[in-house]
Amino acid sequence: MNRRNILWSTVSALGAAFAASRAKATTQKAATQKAATAKAATDAAPSNKLKVVYHLSDADKVNFVLGNIQNHIDGVGGPDHVTLALVIHGPALKAFHWAQANPDVSKRIGDFSKDGVELAACGNTMKAQNITLTDLLPGFVSAEKGGVVRLAELQSQGYLYLRP
């Protein structure tokens, strides 16, 4: 009987040692995989900045929306901490014609352009208003396919949609 106990104890000890070494290897492998996954996520997304697109079509909301954008920039600590876009179509676009824009709107648009805010004017609205980019304040790009198409494109790229 004594031999059986010794044999059983030896087999049990070897089993426990094997299990412990496998657990350690599994833990190390999991830690390595976790680190690799975290690095891949960091490499794939070099910027964790929030991306937001503002939608403006109502002429009576121009100053309100521009104020929201400025508050957004200020609230996150500056333009380096957020990626912003403003898509304008419909009657609101008239407020951004360089010949008609009030000085406050012109200054804000100039500041936003310097801050890297994408300023997109609906191509369909530009045609309807018979204007080109040169008729708009500096910094605008044309959303050739249309403002609503540009909004959808940005949302598909992970932009959050805001329509104040």
Facing residues of 85 across strands? Answer: 53, 118
Which pLDDT does position 14 carry in this prediction? 56
Query: How many whole angstroms separate alpha carbon 14 and alpha carbon 1?
Result: 20
pLDDT surpassing 60 at residue 158: yes
- pTM (predicted TM-score): 0.72
Using an 8 Å Cβ cutoff, are 75 and 162 in contact?
A: no
**DSSP structural state of residue 136:** B
Q: Which of 33-41's residues contact partners 24+ apart within 8 Å by CB, and which partners?
A: none
Task: Tell me which of 39-48, 70-79, 102-111, 145-154 is least confident.
Answer: 39-48
Which pLDDT does position 35 carry in this prediction? 54
Give how far Cα 3 sits from Cα of 6, 7, 9, 32, 59, Å: 5, 6, 10, 43, 95
For 21-61, how does the pLDDT look when each residue is reduced to its tens digit (9 = 90+)? 565 555 555 555 555 555 554 454 456 899 999 999 999 99
Which pLDDT does position 24 carry in this prediction? 56
